[in-house]
Amino acid sequence: MRRMILLVITLTLSLSLFAGRSEARSPEANLTVVFWEDGFPAADTAAPARAELTALLPGAKFAAAGELAPALSNKETRLLVLPFGSAFPEEQWDAILGFLDGGGNLLVLGGKPFARPAYRDGNAWKLRPERLAFAMKLFINDFQETPGSRGLDFQNNPDTAPLELPKFSWSRAFSLIIRLSAEDLYSRQASFGGLDARLAA
């Protein structure tokens, strides 16, 4: 499998990370690119605030749709942040997929990654109906909607969580159904995939 999912947390906050780029880099060469367009629609999450993203991701480069492809082709770019939930710029899909195929990291805030392509209609952005075609290419297309956090207390898992997240509440969540393969191991059975598959969460 050419991509390994390291972590997926899909609540109002949704994280999707893939194995880092294979070539050696210095610690300083860790450029974060945040896709940002004023007026871009959010889907399945609250609209993000640029000031909050700037505070949370100091030093990150904010890139509009037309700037995304060259930003992702920069060898110093390690992380792409899509802050609009399920929505993403459809015309930049090839650049995003190429970045992820090359081992780039992805952070999606809210919703179901790549479920709602957005396109320009004149000066306005519009959302297409939900579709699975884009997420299927990344094996992250199956989600189960789960209840909110009322009556629950969020806790970090000290054994597995690579990030220390602050406590937060949520009203709607999507839990990713992990599939390690889409190919049959045996022709008369289901898609078990390779026997040496491993998932670290």
pLDDT per residue as tens digits for the range 106-148: 999 988 999 999 999 999 999 999 999 999 898 888 888 888 8
CA 27 to centroid of chain Cα atoms: 23
Looking at residue 143, what is its pLDDT?
A: 84
**Can you name the residues that pair with 126 across neighbouring β-strands?**
119
- As a whole number of angstroms, the distance between CA 35 and CA 67 comes to 9
Residue 187 banded pLDDT, cuts 50, 70, 90: low
* Tokens 């839990």 -> residue: 175
**Which residue, among 47, 1, 29, has the nearest Cα to 139 in the 3D structure?**
1
pLDDT per residue as tens digits for the range 26-54: 444 579 999 999 999 999 998 999 999 99
**% of the chain surpassing 70 pLDDT:** 71
> For residues 145 and 172, is the Cβ–Cβ distance under 8 A?
yes
Cα–Cα distances (Å) from 144 to 15, 140, 141, 149, in that order, read 15, 12, 10, 15
- As a whole number of angstroms, the distance between CA 44 and CA 107 comes to 15
- As a whole number of angstroms, the distance between CA 8 and CA 162 comes to 11
CA 143 to centroid of chain Cα atoms: 13
In this predicted structure, the answer to whether residue 25 has a pLDDT above a threshold of 50 is no
Q: State pTM to two decimals.
A: 0.73
CA 1 to centroid of chain Cα atoms: 18
